[in-house]
Amino acid sequence: MTDILTELDAYLCSEDSPPDSLGLSDLDGFLTGVVCTPFPVANWVDVAFGAGATVPRRIMEMVEQRLAEIEAGLSSTTPALEPVFWQAPEGHAIAMDWCEGFMEAVKLNVTTWDEFGQSEIGAKLMSPILVHMFDDDGNSMFAGAIHTCG
């Protein structure tokens, strides 16, 4: 993890962060979803930190820098993305929080994203995210996505 991400994670885990703040991996997924959303997202800070939250300038600068990094990576000639996943003690990546964060961005305009998910390319791109999503009862949300997209 870069120094900026380490510092941002420390803030998000501290008592100084707003109580409704997303964690680092969720935030990274959310920011990626904001970049991928086909329209400007004006209220993304309210989702990332909670409505009306006060966030130190340094933290906002780090978040905006990460947002710019994601945008630059995805808009390059050869798109690239380095998501922030947690690592399990056994060494494997845990993508669920990142995927949940991405879906928070999707919730900002479900209709647009649903239309995208119905397309062939949309189904292919959304499937790896949906496979990591579970409802409140622990059931996979991917089964419904297969039926919807298929």
List pLDDT tens digits, range 106-149.
888 888 877 877 778 767 777 667 666 666 676 666 554 443 43
- Within 10 Å of residue 31's Cβ, how many Cβ atoms? 26
User: Residues in the chain with pLDDT < 50?
Assistant: 144-150
pLDDT value at position 149?
Answer: 37
Q: Which pTM was predicted?
A: 0.83
Which residues on neighbouring strands pair with residue 93, listed in sequence order? 87
pLDDT value at position 11?
Answer: 97
> Where are the chain's structural domains?
3-109
pLDDT value at position 135?
Answer: 67
pLDDT value at position 115?
Answer: 82
pLDDT value at position 110?
Answer: 82
pLDDT value at position 143?
Answer: 56
Pull the structure tokens for residue 84: 């922030």
